[in-house]
């Protein structure tokens, strides 16, 4: 890591940027007290990111994985179909609070 003062940074900025591009970190100081760092940016990925966590295993993703979902499943995800878990509830039963409202009224 390079440590430089502000005056030196202004005078030789292009040199320090070249060092940063090479992977070096430059620390800028005011009266020998660090106030900032210039660090290299992450380079963009050149190859596409592998799908899933098992990218280094021998598992191949089947082509059917990328096919569109069936219409019924899409409707269920979008809330266009009734919820099968709520269909079994007794609609005539009144839902009651855990505590009485009387305790809160004065």
The residue ranges of the chain whose pLDDT is under 50 are none
Q: In Å, what is the CA distance from 31 to each residue of 3, 16, 37, 42?
A: 11, 19, 15, 30
Please name every residue paired with 26 in a beta bridge, in sequence order, or none if there are none.
Answer: 2, 38
The per-residue pLDDT for 85 is 76
What would be the CATH architecture of the domain defined by 2-38? 3-Layer(aba) Sandwich (3.40)
User: What's the chain's average pLDDT?
Assistant: 82
The per-residue pLDDT for 92 is 53
Cβ neighbours for 6, distance < 8 A, ≥ 6 positions apart: 28, 29, 30
């Amino acid at each position: 890591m390079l440590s430089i003062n502000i005056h030196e940074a202004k005078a030789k900025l292009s040199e320090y940027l070249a060092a940063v591009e090479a992977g070096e970190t430059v620390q800028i100081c005011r009266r020998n007290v660090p106030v900032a760092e210039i660090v290299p940016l992450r380079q963009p990925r050149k190859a596409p990111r592998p799908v899933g966590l098992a990218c280094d295993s021998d598992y191949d993703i089947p082509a059917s994985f990328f096919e569109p979902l069936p219409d019924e499943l899409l409707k269920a995800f979008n809330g266009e179909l009734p919820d099968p878990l709520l269909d079994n509830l007794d609609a005539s039963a009144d839902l009651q609070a855990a505590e009485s409202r009387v305790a809160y009224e004065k």
